[in-house]
Structure 1
Amino acid sequence: MRERSRAAYPALAWVCRDPGRLIAFGLGSGLVRPASGTWGTLLAWAIWVAASPAATDLYIGIFLLLAFLYGCWACDRVGKELHQPDHVGMVWDEMVAFWLVLWFSPAGLLPQALAFVLFRTFDIVKPPPIMFFDARLKGGFGVMWDDIVAAFYALVIMALAARTGVFG
């Protein structure tokens, strides 16, 4: 399994000097310790709550596709700059994947909180095939893809919960 780097975090000034770095580090949320992936996911949630009511499904879908593609490029480049292909501070992958989960989850605090817990659990535990992808896919696409698979797992459980009436 490819483990995320425990190397030193770069300075906020270094991250803010370049748009690719700022995106890869989740608008700076990836610099918060410990558990930078969780902080990035929390920021994604806050952005979702603020922005999603004004967005149509078409715009959300286009945004997520572009955010994924830009994230592949940014995480690849920043990982090379840091000599850490999947530096623990790069959290754009968590943000994009969690937005995907929120997009297909029921609205409301309880469903979103459950989505948060499920996504973070799958992202941390990495059940198969997430661990397979995490270990074998390299570069920015690899950084982004394993979180998309974790999002899929969370979405399956969210769909089952919605189908069985858990959310009322």
Structure 2
Amino acid sequence: MKFFAKSPALAPLSLRNPIHFLALGFGSGLARVAPGTFGTAAAIPVVLLMSLLPQSGYVVVTFLACVLGIYICHKTSKDLGVHDHKAIVWDEVAGYMITMFAAPITWQWLLAGFVLFRIFDILKPWPIRWLDRNVDGGLGVMADDILAGVLSFVCMQAALFYFNV
């Protein structure tokens, strides 16, 4: 079994198209199994690079990833003819960027943020589930993961406070 999906549904996409490349999380969204998890994993090097920025720079890049992500996900969904196709994982990249804001860049905290974000993204507790079901277009693709990232960020900051880091 091949690792990457070779589905006729994905035929309209090209990794040479920068919008598709980003929407597919640098290609990670083409994983046959758990593309959202692979999309989140693809965000780890992005977060590592962003950790070199001052916090204000991290906020600006994350904000741009979220705002531009609305267009990127909308355009790719439109090109596929499917709202929020599993292969579109830019929302996971942006959500993990939010999760890791102001967190220490150690393997333990990167893993904690990864697990927290995946839990919120997969289980979709209210109000994440409401956003997922009721908001359409690129905003709908992005909104639930942005909120999952915010809730994961709050948990991370609470853990950092509790452990006095």
Question: TM-score scaled by structure 2?
Answer: 0.88
Residue 146 (structure 2) pairs with residue 161 (structure 1): no
Q: Which amino acid aligns with 1:25?
A: L
- 1:105-116 matches, cutoff 5 A: 105-116=103-114
Unaligned runs of 5+ in 1: 1-6
Query: Identity over the aligned pairs, expressed in percent?
Result: 34
Unaligned runs of 5+ in 2: 1-6
Match of 1:28 in 2: 27
* Per-residue Cα deviation, 1:4-63 (whole angstroms, up to 9, x for no partner): xxx75525x9322321111111111111120001111111012222x1343122222111
Contact map agreement 2:43 2:97 (CA 8 A) in 1? yes
Contact map agreement 2:66 2:146 (CA 8 A) in 1? no
Match of 1:148 in 2: 146
Q: Distance in 2 between matches of 1:86 and 1:53?
A: 29
Equivalenced residues, count: 159
Residue 135 (structure 2) pairs with residue 137 (structure 1): yes
After superposing the two structures, state which structure 1 stretch, 80-89 or 16-25, moved more. 16-25
Match of 1:4 in 2: none
Q: Distance in 2 between matches of 1:120 and 1:83?
A: 26
RMSD (CA atoms): 1.8
Question: TM-score scaled by structure 1?
Answer: 0.87
Contact map agreement 1:122 1:154 (CA 8 A) in 2? yes
- 1:1-168 matches, cutoff 5 A: 10-11=10-11, 14-49=13-48, 51-165=49-163
Q: Distance in 1 between matches of 2:97 and 2:159?
A: 19
Q: Which amino acid aligns with 2:142?
A: M
Contact map agreement 1:15 1:28 (CA 8 A) in 2? no
Contact map agreement 2:101 2:153 (CA 8 A) in 1? no
Contact map agreement 2:13 2:80 (CA 8 A) in 1? no
Q: Which amino acid aligns with 2:85?
A: H
Q: Distance in 2 between matches of 1:70 and 1:126?
A: 23
